[in-house]
Each structure stands twice: as C-alpha cells, then as structure tokens.
Amino acid sequence: MSATLQHTPLADVHVAAGARMVDFGGWSMPLAYGSQIEEHHAVRREAGMFDVSHMLNIDVAGPQATDFLRHLLANDVARLTVPGKALYSCMLNPEGGVIDDLIVYFFAPDRWRVVVNAGTADKDVAWMRQVADTHPYGVTITPRRDLAMLAVQGPEARARVWAARPAWQAATENLGAFSGAQVAADTLVARTGYTGEDGFELVVPGADVATLWNDLVAQGVRPCGLGARDTLRLEAGMALYGQDMDESIMPAQAGLSWTVSLKDPEREFIGRDAVELNADPCVFLGLQLQERGVMRAHMAVRTAHGDGEITSGTMSPTLGVSIAMARLPVGAQPGELADVDIRGKWVPARISALPFVRHGKPVQHS
C-alpha cells in the first residue's frame, strides 16, 4: 500500500483477508473482500461489519461546551439531556453550505463527542477550533486518533456482538436508536449505523480493535467493504458527504431540512441567516429506473417540472433495479415519471420517496 495513504489499525488484517484496497478520502480502505453483493446481502439478512476507523472521534469538553455546540451545529444539542444520547446534524458555513454531516453524543453538559467524516476531518477540526477561539468559548477540542471504530450491522448484529463480548450486553441491550453506552475505558457501544439496518457502532482503543474484529468474525459476522456500504446507504436513502452535499449545498438541497432546528429563535447557529433567507430551491427524492441500465451521479434528469440531476446512483441488490437520489425541481412528486440521460439515451424512471429499503425489506410509501 502507498505510504502516502493513511491506514487504520486494521490495515494488515484487511490485506491478509484478501481485501481489495482503494484510496478513500486519503485512506487505504477495503472496497470488498470478495463478492460485494454477498457482503450487501449479509448485512440485510444476518450481520456484516465495516472498518470505519478512518472517521474521526473528537472530544469537546469544558464549561461552555453546550453553548459552543449550539452555535456550531444546525441541529440543537440542547435536545440531548440523557447521557449517551446522540443526534445527527450538519455543520454549516455562514452561507448555509454543509461543511460536514456528523453525529454528536452527549455525556455531560461539559463533555461531548463529535464523530466526523474521514475526508473532512482535518478541515472540521480546524473550523471547530476557529469558531471556539473567535467567540471565545471555554472548550478543549481533542481529536482521538487513538480510537478505532467498527460498524456491525444487520438483524443479527447485536446478538453477535454480545456473543463476542458478553460483558457488554447488560449495558447495551436496552439502548434505543441513537443512544450509546460507555462500557469500558474509551469504549463506546452505540445503536447507530449507515445501512438502514439495526446494529451497533463500536468505538474502542486502536490497540484492541484487531482482537475485537477477529472475535466478531468467529461469531459469523462477515467483513464488508466500502462497495457494500455504498449500496446499503443508498437503499436506505442516506446522504454521502462529497457526493450528495458539500459546502456549496444547503441541507434542504440534500433532503436534510429535518436536521436543522429553528425552534429556538434566540439560538444563533452558524448559517442560520442564510438558511432562513433561502426557500427550498429544489426537492430531494429517489428514482427507480424502469428499464435496464444503471444510474450514476451527475446524470441529467428531466421531469414535467423542469430539469434535475442525480447525486448518487447504483444497482440495488435488494430491489434488483437501479436506484438513485436526485435534486429535482420543485413540484416533482413521488409516483411521477421522469427520464434519465444514460450515455445519450433518455431512459424512463419513476420518482420515489426515500428510503427504498429499511430493515431488509422494500419500503412501500403511501
């Protein structure tokens, strides 16, 4: 592997397992260990796991940590009052564009954790420190590159984690969605994920992750790569930073208005003025191709209401047809027909609400 790429603590484990390694945001990461489709189905039907140690855990601490995060993030962390609870949010620039999408965990009013994407991690830390210093807030911002992270997903995922780590079950079996428990020093078990399936995301010391990975393999959890992760998240209607949104895209343009909290008129979060001034310029919906072919990002879409563009597209292993997410003109509605330009040919597609799949089954939208 190239010395210019960063490596997770599991890099040698992936290579030994025969993974095809690729450059993902400057990290050497497994694309697949064999059949990407079989990895996809393992998550939908049983249990699969992903090395997501390239993502960065950032600890935010200090007496003004809550005020800092209420200003930094578009969603309102004041909603979090139970230790271990988490929420999903966008971090915006003053123009309302998405710097990153992330998860933030509440441990105490003066102790939080933010989990950010790998490709934006350095930029995110720099932005957080700039905001903290400018106001200033009495917080410390600590990147935790000493930690590793696994996502164990699927209907059997939790049971197999408990089989591998029985001591964790008591503290985690009653966790609700978007909740976590600290089961040991620097060890967090959270009921979160990026696949549309149940499961856990596990944060452990980097020195411990290879043993945990091997113990999970022994319990029948299938290693999965980025290829399956992408088809799973797209079926689940979950946005990918850098593809479905970036600093030029507002949350509403990526179907993420629900992550922006405007309830407190006194909360002046970064980007609020821009978000409130700009009415939704488009709608973010799904597409299902009606003929053979595969939709991909940046393909043009035409509808009865005007033109749009695909942001993510793939062949859905669960549905057996090509699916996509797209920015479409206001007025476009689920159930209507559209056309997609696939290599110079306009191919019919049906507009769909999101998600396409949840908990292993196609979603039937009313």
What domains are defined for the chain?
1-270 (3.30.1360.120), 282-362 (2.40.30.110)
- Predicted confidence at residue 281, as pLDDT, reads 82
* Buried/exposed 189-216: b ≥16 CB within 10 Å, e otherwise: bbbbbbbbbbbbbbbbbbeebeebbeeb
Residue 32: which H helix or E strand, with range?
A: strand 27-32
| Dihedral, 7, 12, 18, 19 alpha carbons, nearest 10 | -20
Q: How far apart are CA 12 and CA 25, in angstroms?
A: 19
DSSP strand pairing (337-342 vs 345-352): antiparallel
Closest CA to 87 of 253, 284, 261: 261
CB neighbour class for 330 (10 Å; exposed up to 12, middle 13-18, buried from 19): exposed
- Predicted confidence at residue 217, as pLDDT, reads 98
What phi and psi values does residue 220 have, to the nearest 5 degrees? Answer: 90, 15
Residue 307 is given by DSSP the state E
- Predicted confidence at residue 3, as pLDDT, reads 56
Residue 58 is given by DSSP the state E
Residue 179 is given by DSSP the state B
pTM value is: 0.96
Q: What is the pLDDT along the chain (366 residues), one digit of tens a residue?
A: 445 899 999 999 999 999 999 999 899 999 999 999 999 999 999 999 999 999 999 999 999 999 999 999 999 999 999 999 999 999 999 999 999 999 999 999 999 999 999 999 999 999 999 999 998 999 999 999 999 999 999 999 999 999 999 999 999 999 999 999 999 989 999 999 999 999 999 999 999 999 999 999 999 999 999 999 999 999 999 999 999 999 999 999 999 999 999 999 999 999 999 999 987 789 999 999 999 999 999 999 999 999 999 999 999 999 999 999 999 999 999 999 999 999 999 999 999 999 999 999 999 886
